[in-house]
């Protein structure tokens, strides 16, 4: 669920939504109130790096992400990046 009013499309990259944004899927639930970039392929969502973490919930400036069971947040390829991946059995 998201409000596309005021959204800005960036060619070859995706769309930035500045209004309420909520995504629930297998990896967890993302709620953003201050902007989220949804990449063109719609499988990647980007928000500013986390500032705090507790019990599978990550939060930053205007957003919260709660991991679903079986998923973890780990450091990405670039310093300061994070990604959500399924836990190894």
| pLDDT tens across the length of the chain (89 residues) | 566 778 899 999 998 988 888 999 999 999 998 889 988 887 788 888 777 888 889 998 899 999 999 999 888 888 888 889 998 87
Which pLDDT value is given to residue 7? 87
- Classify 12 in phi/psi space as left (phi over 0), alpha (psi -120 to 50) or beta: left
Instruction: Provide the whole-model pTM.
Output: 0.80
Q: Please give the Cα distance from 18 to 4 (Å, whole number).
A: 8
Which pLDDT value is given to residue 75? 86
Which pLDDT value is given to residue 1? 58
Which pLDDT value is given to residue 2? 65
Distance, first Cα to last Cα, the chain: 32
């Amino acid at each position: 669920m998201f409000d596309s009013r005021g959204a800005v499309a960036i060619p070859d990259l995706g769309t930035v939504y500045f209004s309420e944004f909520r995504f629930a899927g297998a990896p967890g639930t993302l709620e953003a109130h201050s902007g989220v970039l949804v990449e063109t392929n719609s499988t990647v969502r980007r928000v500013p790096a986390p500032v705090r973490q507790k019990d599978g919930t990550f939060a930053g400036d205007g957003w919260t992400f709660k991991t679903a069971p079986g998923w973890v947040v780990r450091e990405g390829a670039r310093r300061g990046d994070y990604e959500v991946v399924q836990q190894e059995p």
